[in-house]
Amino acid sequence: MTPAFEVRDLRISYGGATAVGGVSLSARPGEVIALLGPNGAGKSTLLKALSTALAPDSGQVRVFGHDTAVNPVPARGRIGMVFQECTLDQDLPVERNLWFHARLFGMTRAASRTRTDELLTRFGLADRRHAPVSELSGGLTRRLELARALLHRPGLVILDEPTTGLDPDARRTVWQDLLGLRDESDVTVLYATHYLDEAELADRVVIVNRGTVVRQGSPAELKAGLSASDLRLVTADDVAATAQLHLAGFDADRGPDGVLVRCAEPESRVAEVVRAIAVPVLEVSVRRPSLDDVYFATTEH
């Protein structure tokens, strides 16, 4: 099966500063991949190279088998892009924005009309087709950008911070749309985000730091890769309980909401931990590693 995209040893620099330093990455058709990383990690640069908007210094980018340096036009035809900043014409009506995009990708008038009607209905914009984009809410504007990206039936949709600035309801709607489309049409989705709850929606999370891929895997795999889980204890005397746990050989620290005991398989060690404490234990709970923990441990941010 031809990968939806394939990046091999990609390197990009700006004025001598490395933005992407030897990244290799690929995706199978229909896969949803989240890019996580701090500001300046290289996420947007990587997306620009994949979308053919930026030529790499070295390395290779392929989109459904098309080398973007050798054959960029057919590669672009398979890509739908949603930028971080809105790139719609604010003064043109909703329908007209889609019409210009369709013509840019060589769609016939009949095909443009049919596909526009289909997507306006799909994204709940049919009754706003003659309204200028400037009159749309932030959530509807994002839905229109997504409709535009899908107009020419791409196999790969690339999104750079797609829900930045949206309220929680609009964010939820955008992701319902995206995941629904993946399930319906097997579209590959690659997106950069700062929201860890959005990264949880992906099949695979790729964490980028200082221009390189430092960790990747499903959310469950990444969380399982952190060895320590925590037992949280609330006691009648957390200072005394922490000292007693240290004497018993446990890795324990006193925190603002109780005593944290780091250990593998914490459920099986509850009785052992409680027996080591001479003061009354008021509450016991287990905290497994979260994607936040993976992100902070990997990027040191």
Alpha-carbon span 194 to 23, nearest angstrom: 20
The tens digit of pLDDT for each residue in 209-268 reads 999 999 999 998 898 777 667 889 999 999 999 999 999 999 999 988 899 998 877 888
The tens digit of pLDDT for each residue in 108-149 reads 999 999 999 999 998 899 999 999 999 999 889 999 999 999
Q: What is the pTM of this model?
A: 0.82
The tens digit of pLDDT for each residue in 165-182 reads 788 888 888 888 888 877
Claim to verify: residue 85 and residue 25 sit in the same structural domain: yes
CATH of the domain at 284: 3.30.70.100
Claim to verify: residue 236 and residue 87 sit in the same structural domain: no
Claim to verify: residue 21 and residue 165 sit in the same structural domain: yes
Q: Can you give the residue range of the structural domain that contains 253?
A: 227-288
Of the candidates 147, 146, 130, the residue with the CA atom closest to the CA atom of residue 94 = 130
Of the candidates 184, 205, 197, 105, the residue with the CA atom closest to the CA atom of residue 148 = 105
The percent of residues in the chain predicted with pLDDT above 90, rounded, is: 69
DSSP E strands, the chain: 5-14, 17-27, 32-36, 58-63, 66-67, 79-82, 156-160, 188-192, 204-209, 212-217, 229-235, 251-255, 258-263, 281-287
What is the model's pLDDT at position 258? Answer: 92
Claim to verify: residue 54 and residue 163 sit in the same structural domain: yes
Q: Considering just the CA atoms, what is the radius of gyration of the chain in Å?
A: 24
Identify the residue with better confidence: 288 or 188.
188
Total domains in the chain come to 2
The tens digit of pLDDT for each residue in 255-278 reads 888 999 988 778 888 999 999 999
Which residue in the block uniquely carries the two structure tokens 């700006």? 14
- Of 223, 243, 276, which one is at a domain's C-terminal end? 223
Residue 296 lies in a domain: no
The tens digit of pLDDT for each residue in 47-106 reads 999 999 999 999 999 999 999 999 999 999 999 999 888 899 999 999 999 999 999 999
